[in-house]
Amino acid sequence: MSIAGIVCLSIFGALLCLILFMIVRTLLVKPVEEEHTPSTPVELDKDILAKHLSEAVQIPTVSLENINCDGSVFYKYHDFLEKTYPTFHKVATKELVNKYTLFYTIKGKNPNLKPGCFLAHQDVVPAGNEEEWEVPPFSGTIKDGYVYGRGAQDMKGQMIALLEAMEYLLNHGFEPERDIYFIFGHDEEPNTVDGAPEAVKLLKQRGIELEFVIDEGGTILDGSIIGVNKIIGLIGTCEKGYVDIELSCTKDGGHSSNPRRPTSLAILGKAINEIENHPSKTRFTQSTKEMFNHLAPYMPFGIKFVFANHDILSPLIRFVLSVAHPVTNSIVRTTYCPTLCKGSDATNIIPKTSTANINCRVLTGESTDDVLARIQKLAGKDVICKKVGTATEPTAVSDTTSDAYKKLTTSINETFPELVVAPYPFIAGSDSRYFYPVCNNVFRFTPFIVTPEDQNRIHGLNERQSIDQLERATQFFIRCIKNQAK
């Protein structure tokens, strides 16, 4: 046999061995069967839950631009909470951080245990064009099994479910083993630093290290977008970084009847086009790999074969995920999104200086400086790029083998037995990103099964929360608080 024939035969043999290895590896991927004690859901009055969420929505706690703005509406909301949850406020010690952030402490029986912490934020985004809403956005209207209004989903629904759960437990004689903190920030939406970061400073000053932090952020969604024929419950184990980058260009202005080309706005438009047409490279992070490892057992064989061998087929998988859905694309790359653009203030004036904003969500393994450098390169020498506002780096990845993670998954499975639970990299932002200096086990989970239609209502028109899901979320937090407090 010729040398060429021997080489071809060797390559064929190696490929055959590799394929057989991948098939065997796929066949060995099985769901991890975990035992969970059957738990009968506690009976709750859904009318009361809906009423309390409706009343919460009626208090328009729209985010403040800064700590010096009039925040009296937040004090009205604090009064509402005290009136609505009397047992909680009788047992808990209440502190105010930077005027408006609520910091509650419920003492546990064992001071040797690290405290745990549940987060939520009081503030909501503006309602936008109120005339386009089906009902007034701060009316808290209850109809067709939903509570309507700004903040019903993001995130007063979760805060009310959490407080309802703690009120229920305390009224039924519950005493936690460990101290539990409830920290409710007032400025999560505008990404300012007057709330949660100041609460973390207080914890550090007191020398407190937390056992766990649980915040909003994970999601429950249809797994078909990644080949899982089940509903999946995703727990955010890390968070992408956040940075706004301002693009500016200055050229001669003047009257639009006598334009000089290119104008500053035209140069900026070309830069934005370059940025959109040259996305960042796709990458697998630790949390992405962990997600696939958890979900692969529930995929059909063909898709399971691909994901079970993601280390070998990584380029193919990353390409498919980048084009399959905006969510999966966001999981595997840093994203750049143009959000603002400004030229002149009149239709017949050529702007001397034009500006635009690129909102960036930074994948683990990159930095905001890396992103700034790449955008500057794409934008070109005629465009000045700089960071504006508050930038945050990608967080560390929380430990999915920790006791806190196991208790969280147990609580989810007890409440939502139909879900497949998996970790994932949270693609948005939350107050929990500030808590890593005092906690290694920071997790994000939103215990509501939300339709794609209602998902689009968050920060949009006609935001609403299902009353049935509000009841189930309360049942989840009853279990979660009991499990985590042990």
Q: Give the Cα separation of 63 and 151 in Å (integer).
A: 11
Q: Determine if the peptide bond prior to 315 is cis (ω within 30°).
A: no
> What are 271's strand-pairing partners?
none
Cβ-Cβ contacts under 8 Å for 358 (sequence gap 6 or more): 244, 245, 247, 272, 275, 336, 337, 338, 339, 375
280 phi-psi bin (left φ>0, alpha ψ -120 to 50, beta other): beta
Contacts of 231 (CB under 8 A, 6+ apart): 220, 221, 222, 223, 416, 418, 419, 420, 449
123 tagged catalytic: yes
Quote the CA–CA distance of 120 and 155 in Å, as a whole number.
Answer: 7
One-letter amino acid for residue 449 of the chain: I
Q: Residues near 293 by Cβ (< 8 Å), separated by ≥ 6?
A: none
- How many alpha carbons fall within 13 Å on the CB side of residue 193? 10
Closest listed residue to residue 425, CA positions, set 240, 164, 277? 240
How many angstroms separate the CA atoms of 83 and 158, rounded?
18
Which one is catalytic: 188, 211, 239, 414? 188
Who contacts 201 (Cβ-Cβ below 8 Å, separation ≥6)? Answer: none
Cβ atoms of 479 and 249 within 8 Å: the answer is: no
Q: Which residues contact 273 (CB under 8 A, 6 or more apart)?
A: none
Helix or strand run (H / E) with residue 101? strand 101-106
Which of 354, 362, 357, 360 shows the shortest CA–CA distance to 339?
Answer: 357
As annotated, the active-site residues are 123, 188
